[in-house]
Amino acid sequence: MRGALAALALGAGLAAGGVAGAQEEFTDNRTMVPYFTLEELQSTFKSVGIASVQGQVGADGPAYLQAADPSSNLVFVAEPMACYDGRCVGLMLSAQFRGDLVTPEAVRQYDLGQPFIKAVMVAENTALIGRYEIADFGIPRGNIRASVANFLAIAAYFPEFARSSQTTASNELPANRLKGSSDVQSAALTTASIARSETAVPHARVESAVAGLPELANEF
């Protein structure tokens, strides 16, 4: 499946074509999305050049998207949650990272360094980084783009942070990583400024996001 995602990412390219900071290119940013669906997410992802394929845990398990960002080569999962009658008002974005440098201390320091994404250890040398969004009364489509941009910018920085934590005494995230200003451009997404949710992401919710999902660890 990861090979299929890589092929999709190459085929999709940057659908928005050098769209960093080009917020005005999207006339639907203020269009309200009533709840999260795979189709809506897949369409929104495609608009910013992110390839995705649908999957499901078992015959009756939760559905999700496996996605690949061609700018950062980050593979991640988008899983609608808190669903009632097919209408989901929660969205978990998560990415796994695996490598010898993924240590409990590095993950703990990374988690403490920024407030909008939760990082936890889920196995030896494996971390899960997650961001949870809510749409109890709908969410503007532009906010979905902004949240994904913020998630990708901070999550994609984790390998660099883990490496630097082995050689430096300080594990603090640089300020621009927190704000996501320069990283949105590197993620090739269309958000001039990052809108960040105040929603906390409980550890249990992040850890449950990986249960039953295919292994899509970003190795480094």
**Domain count of the chain?**
1
Q: What is the mean pLDDT of residues 126-130?
A: 95
Structure tokens at 113: 């360094």
Burial label, 210 (beta-carbon count in 10 A; 0-12, 13-18, 19+): buried
Q: Are 165 and 157 in contact (CB under 8 A)?
A: no
Of residues 93 and 4, the one with the higher pLDDT is 93
Task: Give the integer Cα–Cα distance in Å for 211 and 220.
Answer: 22
Structure confidence by residue, pLDDT tens digits, 7-32:
444 443 433 333 344 445 799 999 99
Q: Are 94 and 147 in contact (CB under 8 A)?
A: no
Task: Give the integer Cα–Cα distance in Å for 165 and 47.
Answer: 35
% of the chain surpassing 70 pLDDT: 66
Containing domain of residue 213, as a range? 2-219
pLDDT, residue 114, reads 81
pLDDT, residue 106, reads 94
Structure confidence by residue, pLDDT tens digits, 151-197:
999 999 999 999 988 765 444 544 444 444 333 333 333 222 223 33
- Ranking 17-21, 119-123, 130-134 by mean pLDDT, the lowest is 17-21
Task: Give the integer Cα–Cα distance in Å for 160 and 177.
Answer: 12
Confidence of residue 3 (pLDDT cuts 50, 70, 90): very low
| DSSP state at residue 191 | -
pLDDT, residue 94, reads 96
Structure tokens at 165: 């934590």
